[in-house]
Amino acid sequence: MLLTKIATLDEVLDVHRAALGSDFTAYRNHTYRVLNLCAARSSADPEQLEKMAIAAAFHDMGIWTDGTFDYLEPSVRLASSHLAQSGRAEWMPEITAMIREHHKLSRYRGDPLSLVESFRRADWVDVSRGFITFGLSRSLLREIFAVWPSAGFHKRLVQLELVRLRTHPWNPLPMVRL
Protein backbone atom coordinates (compact mmCIF):
# COMPACT_ATOMS: atom_id res chain seq x y z
CA MET A 1 0.00 0.00 0.00
CA LEU A 2 1.42 3.36 -1.03
CA LEU A 3 1.93 6.22 1.39
CA THR A 4 -0.03 9.14 -0.02
CA LYS A 5 -0.40 11.60 2.86
CA ILE A 6 2.51 12.23 5.22
CA ALA A 7 1.83 15.28 7.40
CA THR A 8 5.49 16.02 8.20
CA LEU A 9 6.50 15.91 4.55
CA ASP A 10 3.61 18.11 3.45
CA GLU A 11 4.22 20.62 6.25
CA VAL A 12 7.92 21.02 5.42
CA LEU A 13 7.21 21.39 1.72
CA ASP A 14 4.52 24.00 2.40
CA VAL A 15 7.01 26.04 4.46
CA HIS A 16 9.30 26.10 1.41
CA ARG A 17 6.59 26.51 -1.24
CA ALA A 18 7.73 30.01 -2.21
CA ALA A 19 11.36 28.91 -2.67
CA LEU A 20 10.27 25.90 -4.76
CA GLY A 21 8.07 28.16 -6.90
CA SER A 22 6.90 26.52 -10.12
CA ASP A 23 8.89 23.37 -9.23
CA PHE A 24 6.73 22.71 -6.16
CA THR A 25 4.65 19.87 -7.63
CA ALA A 26 7.64 18.31 -9.36
CA TYR A 27 9.66 18.29 -6.13
CA ARG A 28 6.72 17.15 -4.00
CA ASN A 29 6.15 14.21 -6.33
CA HIS A 30 9.87 13.37 -6.23
CA THR A 31 9.86 13.38 -2.42
CA TYR A 32 6.81 11.11 -2.27
CA ARG A 33 8.36 8.71 -4.79
CA VAL A 34 11.61 8.56 -2.81
CA LEU A 35 9.75 8.12 0.47
CA ASN A 36 7.67 5.25 -0.93
CA LEU A 37 10.69 3.60 -2.54
CA CYS A 38 12.61 3.86 0.74
CA ALA A 39 9.65 2.54 2.73
CA ALA A 40 9.38 -0.44 0.37
CA ARG A 41 12.88 -1.47 1.56
CA SER A 42 12.52 -0.51 5.24
CA SER A 43 10.42 -0.90 8.32
CA ALA A 44 7.01 0.76 8.40
CA ASP A 45 7.76 1.83 11.97
CA PRO A 46 6.29 5.34 12.57
CA GLU A 47 9.63 6.76 13.77
CA GLN A 48 11.44 5.42 10.71
CA LEU A 49 8.72 6.87 8.48
CA GLU A 50 9.15 10.29 10.12
CA LYS A 51 12.90 10.14 9.47
CA MET A 52 12.27 9.20 5.83
CA ALA A 53 9.79 12.08 5.47
CA ILE A 54 12.22 14.65 6.90
CA ALA A 55 15.13 13.41 4.80
CA ALA A 56 12.95 13.31 1.68
CA ALA A 57 11.67 16.83 2.25
CA PHE A 58 15.13 18.34 2.66
CA HIS A 59 17.48 16.14 0.61
CA ASP A 60 17.50 18.38 -2.50
CA MET A 61 15.92 21.52 -1.00
CA GLY A 62 19.15 23.55 -1.13
CA ILE A 63 18.81 23.70 -4.92
CA TRP A 64 15.90 26.09 -4.45
CA THR A 65 16.56 27.76 -1.10
CA ASP A 66 20.21 28.53 -1.84
CA GLY A 67 20.04 28.65 -5.63
CA THR A 68 22.87 26.17 -6.09
CA PHE A 69 23.48 22.78 -7.65
CA ASP A 70 26.08 22.19 -4.93
CA TYR A 71 23.20 21.69 -2.54
CA LEU A 72 24.07 18.94 -0.07
CA GLU A 73 25.37 21.16 2.72
CA PRO A 74 22.59 23.76 2.37
CA SER A 75 20.09 20.88 2.51
CA VAL A 76 21.80 19.44 5.61
CA ARG A 77 21.71 22.88 7.24
CA LEU A 78 17.95 23.20 6.60
CA ALA A 79 17.24 19.69 7.90
CA SER A 80 19.38 20.23 11.01
CA SER A 81 17.59 23.47 11.80
CA HIS A 82 14.21 21.75 11.39
CA LEU A 83 15.26 18.87 13.62
CA ALA A 84 16.57 21.21 16.34
CA GLN A 85 13.37 23.28 16.25
CA SER A 86 11.13 20.20 16.35
CA GLY A 87 12.95 18.59 19.29
CA ARG A 88 14.50 15.80 17.24
CA ALA A 89 18.16 16.79 17.37
CA GLU A 90 19.12 13.18 18.16
CA TRP A 91 18.10 12.26 14.59
CA MET A 92 20.65 14.68 13.07
CA PRO A 93 23.45 12.15 12.47
CA GLU A 94 21.25 9.70 10.57
CA ILE A 95 19.32 12.28 8.56
CA THR A 96 22.51 14.20 7.79
CA ALA A 97 24.02 10.97 6.46
CA MET A 98 20.86 10.25 4.44
CA ILE A 99 21.18 13.63 2.74
CA ARG A 100 24.97 13.65 2.30
CA GLU A 101 25.11 10.10 0.94
CA HIS A 102 22.01 9.99 -1.27
CA HIS A 103 24.05 10.46 -4.47
CA LYS A 104 26.79 8.06 -3.44
CA LEU A 105 27.63 5.74 -6.34
CA SER A 106 28.73 2.82 -4.19
CA ARG A 107 27.01 1.13 -1.29
CA TYR A 108 26.91 3.04 2.01
CA ARG A 109 29.09 1.14 4.46
CA GLY A 110 28.16 2.88 7.70
CA ASP A 111 25.58 1.68 10.22
CA PRO A 112 23.66 -1.12 8.47
CA LEU A 113 20.62 -0.53 10.70
CA SER A 114 20.24 3.08 9.57
CA LEU A 115 18.05 4.24 6.71
CA VAL A 116 20.97 5.69 4.76
CA GLU A 117 21.42 2.85 2.25
CA SER A 118 17.67 2.40 1.68
CA PHE A 119 17.32 6.14 1.10
CA ARG A 120 20.33 6.20 -1.25
CA ARG A 121 18.86 3.37 -3.31
CA ALA A 122 15.41 4.97 -3.36
CA ASP A 123 16.76 8.23 -4.75
CA TRP A 124 18.80 6.41 -7.44
CA VAL A 125 15.70 4.44 -8.49
CA ASP A 126 13.75 7.67 -8.82
CA VAL A 127 16.45 9.73 -10.53
CA SER A 128 16.99 6.92 -13.04
CA ARG A 129 13.20 6.79 -13.57
CA GLY A 130 13.22 3.11 -12.65
CA PHE A 131 16.08 2.10 -14.93
CA ILE A 132 17.93 1.13 -11.74
CA THR A 133 15.62 -0.98 -9.56
CA PHE A 134 17.76 -2.46 -6.78
CA GLY A 135 15.39 -5.42 -6.88
CA LEU A 136 12.12 -3.51 -6.55
CA SER A 137 9.35 -4.85 -8.75
CA ARG A 138 8.51 -3.11 -12.00
CA SER A 139 4.83 -3.16 -11.01
CA LEU A 140 5.60 -1.21 -7.81
CA LEU A 141 7.64 1.31 -9.79
CA ARG A 142 4.85 1.75 -12.34
CA GLU A 143 2.34 2.28 -9.53
CA ILE A 144 4.52 4.86 -7.76
CA PHE A 145 5.26 6.78 -10.98
CA ALA A 146 1.56 6.72 -11.90
CA VAL A 147 0.50 8.22 -8.55
CA TRP A 148 3.35 10.79 -8.49
CA PRO A 149 4.38 11.55 -12.08
CA SER A 150 7.60 13.40 -12.82
CA ALA A 151 5.71 16.68 -13.45
CA GLY A 152 8.90 18.07 -15.00
CA PHE A 153 11.25 17.04 -12.18
CA HIS A 154 13.63 15.01 -14.34
CA LYS A 155 13.61 17.68 -17.06
CA ARG A 156 14.46 20.29 -14.44
CA LEU A 157 17.40 18.20 -13.22
CA VAL A 158 18.79 18.06 -16.76
CA GLN A 159 18.39 21.84 -17.10
CA LEU A 160 20.20 22.42 -13.80
CA GLU A 161 22.96 19.99 -14.78
CA LEU A 162 23.52 21.81 -18.07
CA VAL A 163 23.79 25.18 -16.33
CA ARG A 164 26.24 23.71 -13.82
CA LEU A 165 28.29 22.13 -16.62
CA ARG A 166 28.65 25.52 -18.33
CA THR A 167 29.65 27.33 -15.14
CA HIS A 168 31.71 24.54 -13.51
CA PRO A 169 32.96 22.26 -16.31
CA TRP A 170 35.50 20.54 -14.03
CA ASN A 171 32.95 19.88 -11.28
CA PRO A 172 29.55 19.45 -12.96
CA LEU A 173 28.05 17.08 -10.37
CA PRO A 174 29.35 18.21 -6.95
CA MET A 175 26.77 16.13 -5.08
CA VAL A 176 27.96 12.77 -6.43
CA ARG A 177 30.16 10.75 -4.09
CA LEU A 178 32.14 7.59 -4.78
Q: Is residue 123 part of a domain?
A: yes
- Residues 48-69: tens digit of each pLDDT: 999 999 999 999 999 999 999 9
Q: Is residue 175 part of a domain?
A: no
Measure the CA–CA gap between 169 and 164, rounded to whole angstroms.
7
Q: Which amino acid does the sequence have at 44?
A: A
Confidence bin at 104 (pLDDT 50/70/90): very high
Alpha helices in the chain (DSSP H): 7-15, 17-20, 24-39, 46-58, 62-65, 72-85, 92-100, 116-127, 138-147, 153-167
State which residues form the domain around 98. Answer: 7-167
Q: What is the CATH number of the domain that holds 20?
A: 1.10.3210
Q: Is residue 2 part of a domain?
A: no
53 within 8 A of 24, measured Cβ to Cβ: no
Measured in residues, the chain has a length of 178
Q: Is residue 14 part of a domain?
A: yes
- Say how many C-beta atoms besides its own lie within 10 A of residue 92's C-beta: 15
Q: Residue 42 above 90 pLDDT? A: no
Give the burial string for 7-43 (b: 16+ CB within 10 Å, else e): ebbeebbeebeebbeebbbbbbbbbbbbbbbbbbbbe
Q: What is the mean pLDDT of residues 11-29?
A: 98
Residues linked to residue 136 through DSSP beta bridges, in sequence order = none
Q: Residue 43 above 80 pLDDT? A: no
Q: What is the mean pLDDT of residues 148-176?
A: 92
Q: Is residue 37 part of a domain?
A: yes
87 within 8 A of 43, measured Cβ to Cβ: no
Q: Is residue 24 part of a domain?
A: yes
3-state secondary structure of 60: coil
DSSP class of 89: G
121 within 8 A of 128, measured Cβ to Cβ: no
176 within 8 A of 103, measured Cβ to Cβ: yes
Q: Is residue 89 part of a domain?
A: yes
Domain count, the chain: 1
Q: Is residue 177 part of a domain?
A: no
